[in-house]
Chains A and B, each alone.
Chain A
Amino acid sequence: MEINIQNNPENVVVALNGSFDTSMAEQAEPTVKELESMASKPIVIDCSALDYIASSGLRVLLRLRKASAARGQKVTLLNVNESIMEVLRVTHFDRMFIMQ
């Protein structure tokens, strides 16, 4: 999986590409820490190229949400495909993020 971060003046856009499984979540730990430190701006996660997300991946999204919430910001999930949307609905994660 690839994580591309675009640090814009008004927000941070994170593009997820591929399969966000447990081992990826472990490998992405440094990137996640970096993103947490950027949470003073709204974070927009572009999921258009995201194929699959495991519970560990969901946990990473929660951590970003938590870091953002602590600074009064929100996390937006963009272009979530249908199968991942189903996962988010079942787990009620859709309630935790702004879905676009």
Chain B
Amino acid sequence: MKQTGKKASSSLQVRMTAYVTSAVIFVSAVAMILVAGRVRGDYEDLLQARISDDLDAITRIMEQRLLRIEETTKAMAALSTMLIDDRQETDSLLCRSLSVMEDVYGAAIVFDNTVVPCQDGYYERFALRNANGEVELNDFVNRWDSQTQREWDVCYGDGKLLWSDFISEYSDGYKVISCSVPFLDKNGRRAGVVYSVILESYLTSFVTHYKARKDIDISIYKADGKMVVAPDDYILRLEPEKLLVRESAIGHIGWKVVLSADRRVIGAKVNQALLSMLALLVLMFIVIAVVVRLCVRYVARPFIEEKRRIEKERAVMENEMVLAAGAQNELVPHIFPPFPERRGIDLAACLHPARKVGGDIYDYFIVGNKLYFCIGDVSGKGVQASLFMTAVHYLFRSVVAGSSVSDSTGHMNVSLCADNEQCRFVTFWLGCLDLESGALEYVNAGHDSPILLRGGRVETFPPSENMSLGISEEEKFVSNTVVLQPGDLILLYTDGVTEAMDAGGNEFGGERLLEVVGGTSRSDASGLLESVLAAVRKHAGDAVQSDDITMLCLKFIMSETNISQ
């Protein structure tokens, strides 16, 4: 049974844990979904701000770099005018210019046909940085193609600085962009074009270097919309509504730097972050739940063990009380009629303890032709009262026979007074009935006066003239004698009868007891007891019995002398 209970409770715990965990996950998920939109918006705002900052910085730096290249190229053009006649000087100019322009790959002077005649093409002197970082000088005779022709026309024709349209590819495989400036000869005639070359890879590495975050893409356009640098998969993702885009112009040349971020990537990132947070929350909840459970178990264990111990002790104690109650009931005789061979008397008694162990007693025995009988009520209730009652009982059995009732009571009293630190006492009524003559000698030691039912009339015995037993060892006990007539009934009782309360706290009372005894239709001892008990129970109703209910009833039928005749 115990194991089944344990299993049931553990499966209940599992179920409860599952329910609570599911509820926590559900609530967290709903909360996440609710906050996801807001978080995404916040994240986009943050990214926008970051893009703006990055854009400003990149634009400024890019502009500075390009301006430096332009200025150096212009300076080269101005110097070329002066050095045009001396080839060594122009070579030296190219080398020096290249060495100060770290950002450029190469620099060249293209001579007009009027300066250096060239059939169907043009001649140029070109300096470039080789793989070892050294400057190499080369001569080229190039044929015109449509692009170079156009650029030449724009630059040379208009006499303006020109950034090349788009990337030209060199024969060595490098993709380049050039900045061209025309120069004049000493007579003021156009003599050629100086240009500096930057590699596409230079721009790309610049962009890569300044790319603040992985989720921001940088691209550079020329003023006419042609792309200078773009991320590899940029074209694929060129869907403006799905992008966060900000752009800025590099003022003097009109190039545009564009920074963009893919909203879908942002959304996915936010969702991923929220999912991670959700998982973390659930994990934290589980860890906290486990820790709390362990703590509770650890903290509660001593209390639970203490409670179990107390319950066990109480069970043992209650069991002992039940056993003690059994012992008390065994002490008092309870086989009726007790003396079936004695036809002159009819005797019945009962004892109903209020708690499991009571402090009341009755007893009787016959020695010769004398019936000794008693009733008593020990002060207090419970085990201690019961133990005192046991002492009273054994004293009654051992001391009483053979002496006068007053002497016997005196002996009992002296014994009970000895070492009675707790001042326990017992109200006691002791009688000795001569079964031949019907003479009843008795001592009432502080007990309720018995009731005598004679010929349908009830009367109470005179009140006690003696103190209860166990109080004062100097006490002298006075006895009285009454001679019973055939048919007389005596009812001895304890105050549990007269003080039995109903639910409203009203006592049964002495007068009502007299009425019940006088009005009973039963004329035998057990019948009278049953009538009184029924009346008391009826009066008490559902109220808890507050005191032991004990009665002894004796009917004197006739003297033994008459029986023998």
Q: Is the CB of A91 within 8 A of B446?
A: yes
Q: Is the CB of A92 within 8 A of B423?
A: no
- B377 surroundings in chain A (CB, below 8 A): 55
Q: Is the CB of B472 within 8 A of A96?
A: yes
- B379 surroundings in chain A (CB, below 8 A): 55-56, 58-59
Among A55, A58, A93, A95, the most chain B Cβ lie within 10 Å of the Cβ of A55
Q: Is the CB of B381 within 8 A of A22?
A: yes
For the complex, give the distance between the alpha carbons of A33 and B379 in Å: 18
Q: Is the CB of A95 within 8 A of B467?
A: yes
For the complex, give the distance between the alpha carbons of A51 and B424 in Å: 22
Q: Does A45 contact B (CB under 8 A)?
A: no
Q: Is the CB of B380 within 8 A of A22?
A: yes
Within 8 A of B (CB), among A57-71: 58-60, 62-63, 66
- Encoded as 1 (CB less than 8 Å from any B CB) or 0, chain A from 3 to 39 comes to 0000000000000000000100100000000000000
Q: With A59-B424, A59-B425, A63-B422 as given contacts, are A91 and B380 in contact (CB-CB < 8 Å)?
A: no
Nearest A-chain residue to B427, judged by Cβ? A91
Nearest B-chain residue to A58, judged by Cβ? B379
- A55 surroundings in chain B (CB, below 8 A): 377-380, 425, 427
Besides A25-B380, A55-B379, A96-B467, 18 new A-B residue pairs in contact (Cβ under 8 A), listed by A number:
A22-B381, A55-B377, A55-B378, A55-B380, A58-B425, A59-B380, A59-B422, A59-B423, A59-B425, A62-B471, A90-B463, A92-B446, A92-B464, A92-B465, A92-B466, A93-B467, A95-B467, A96-B472
Q: Is the CB of A91 within 8 A of B424?
A: no
Nearest B-chain residue to A57, judged by Cβ? B379
Q: Does B468 contact A (CB under 8 A)?
A: yes
Within 8 A of B (CB), among A71-90: 90
- B378 surroundings in chain A (CB, below 8 A): 55
Cβ of A41 to closest chain B Cβ, rounded Å = 20
Q: With A90-B446, A90-B464, A91-B467 as given contacts, are A63 and B380 in contact (CB-CB < 8 Å)?
A: no
**Partner-A contacts on B (CB < 8 A):** 377-381, 422-425, 427, 446, 463-468, 471-472
For the complex, give the distance between the alpha carbons of A63 and B465 in Å: 22
Q: Is the CB of B463 within 8 A of A96?
A: no
Q: Is the CB of B380 within 8 A of A56?
A: yes
For the complex, give the distance between the alpha carbons of A66 and B425 in Å: 13
For the complex, give the distance between the alpha carbons of A55 and B380 in Å: 6
For the complex, give the distance between the alpha carbons of A46 and B446 in Å: 24
Q: Is the CB of B423 within 8 A of A66?
A: yes
For the complex, give the distance between the alpha carbons of A55 and B354 in Å: 15
Number of interface residues of A (CB under 8 A): 16
- A92 surroundings in chain B (CB, below 8 A): 446, 464-468
Nearest A-chain residue to B378, judged by Cβ? A55
For the complex, give the distance between the alpha carbons of A8 and B463 in Å: 39
Cβ of A83 to closest chain B Cβ, rounded Å = 11
For the complex, give the distance between the alpha carbons of A70 and B283 in Å: 76
Nearest A-chain residue to B475, judged by Cβ? A92
Cβ of A33 to closest chain B Cβ, rounded Å = 12
Offer 19 A-B interface pairs, CB within 8 angstroms, sorted by A: A22-B380, A55-B377, A55-B380, A55-B427, A56-B379, A56-B380, A56-B381, A58-B379, A58-B425, A59-B422, A59-B424, A63-B422, A63-B423, A90-B446, A91-B464, A91-B468, A92-B466, A92-B468, A96-B467
- A93 surroundings in chain B (CB, below 8 A): 467
Cβ of A70 to closest chain B Cβ, rounded Å = 11
- A96 surroundings in chain B (CB, below 8 A): 467, 471-472
For the complex, give the distance between the alpha carbons of A93 and B464 in Å: 12
Cβ of A77 to closest chain B Cβ, rounded Å = 15
For the complex, give the distance between the alpha carbons of A96 and B468 in Å: 12
Nearest B-chain residue to A56, judged by Cβ? B380
Cβ of A32 to closest chain B Cβ, rounded Å = 10
- B424 surroundings in chain A (CB, below 8 A): 59
The 4 closest A-B pairs by CB, nearest first: A55-B379, A62-B423, A92-B467, A59-B379
- B467 surroundings in chain A (CB, below 8 A): 91-93, 95-96
- A59 surroundings in chain B (CB, below 8 A): 379-380, 422-425
For the complex, give the distance between the alpha carbons of A6 and B479 in Å: 43
For the complex, give the distance between the alpha carbons of A69 and B466 in Å: 21
Nearest B-chain residue to A60, judged by Cβ? B423
Cβ of A100 to closest chain B Cβ, rounded Å = 20
Among B423, B463, B464, B465, the most chain A Cβ lie within 10 Å of the Cβ of B423
- A56 surroundings in chain B (CB, below 8 A): 379-381
Nearest B-chain residue to A66, judged by Cβ? B423
For the complex, give the distance between the alpha carbons of A90 and B465 in Å: 8
- A60 surroundings in chain B (CB, below 8 A): 423
Among A58, A59, A96, the most chain B Cβ lie within 10 Å of the Cβ of A59
- B472 surroundings in chain A (CB, below 8 A): 96
- A91 surroundings in chain B (CB, below 8 A): 427, 446, 464, 467-468
- B446 surroundings in chain A (CB, below 8 A): 90-92
- B466 surroundings in chain A (CB, below 8 A): 92
- A66 surroundings in chain B (CB, below 8 A): 423
For the complex, give the distance between the alpha carbons of A55 and B471 in Å: 12
Contact partner, B425, options A25, A62, A90, A95, Cβ 8 Å: A62
Nearest B-chain residue to A55, judged by Cβ? B379
Cβ of B373 to closest chain A Cβ, rounded Å = 21
Cβ of B465 to closest chain A Cβ, rounded Å = 8
Cβ of A19 to closest chain B Cβ, rounded Å = 10
For the complex, give the distance between the alpha carbons of A56 and B467 in Å: 16
For the complex, give the distance between the alpha carbons of A55 and B422 in Å: 13
- A62 surroundings in chain B (CB, below 8 A): 423, 425, 471
Cβ of B547 to closest chain A Cβ, rounded Å = 8
For the complex, give the distance between the alpha carbons of A56 and B425 in Å: 9
Cβ of B121 to closest chain A Cβ, rounded Å = 127
